[in-house]
Amino acid sequence: MGIVVFVTNDGFILSSAPNFRDLGGHRAAGGGTVRHGMLYRSDALHTISEPDLPVYNGLGIRQLIDLRTEHERVNLPDITPEGAAYTAVSVQGPRAAGGNFSEALMDRERARAMFADGAAERFMFAVYRELVTDEIALTGYRDLVERAAKGPTALVFHCSAGKDRTGWGAALLLSLLGVDRTVVVADYLASNERQENTDKWMRMLSEHSGLTWEEVAPMARVRAEYLETAFTHVDEVYGSFDGYVSDGLGLSSATVESLRERMIS
The upper half-sphere exposure of residue 22, i.e. CA atoms within 13 Å in the direction of its Cβ, equals 25
160 and 42 Cβ atoms separated by less than 8 Å:
no
Catalytic residues: 159
Write out pLDDT tens, residues 98-123. Answer: 555 667 777 777 777 778 778 889 99
Give the closest residue to 195 by CA, choosing from 78, 56, 37, 42: 42
Any alpha helices (H) in 62-212, and if so which ranges? 70-75, 101-105, 108-115, 119-133, 135-150, 165-176, 181-189, 196-209
Q: DSSP label at 78?
A: -
User: What pTM value is reported for the model?
Assistant: 0.91
Other beta carbons less than 10 A from residue 223's beta carbon: 15
Residues of the chain with pLDDT under 70: 1-10, 95-102
pLDDT value, residue 184: 97
pLDDT value, residue 4: 37
What is the Cα–Cα distance from 68 to 166, expressed in whole angstroms?
A: 9
Other beta carbons less than 10 A from residue 113's beta carbon: 11
pLDDT value, residue 9: 46
Domains of the chain, each with CATH number or no CATH:
21-263 (3.90.190.10)
Angle separating helix axes 119-133 and 165-176, nearest 10 degrees: 40
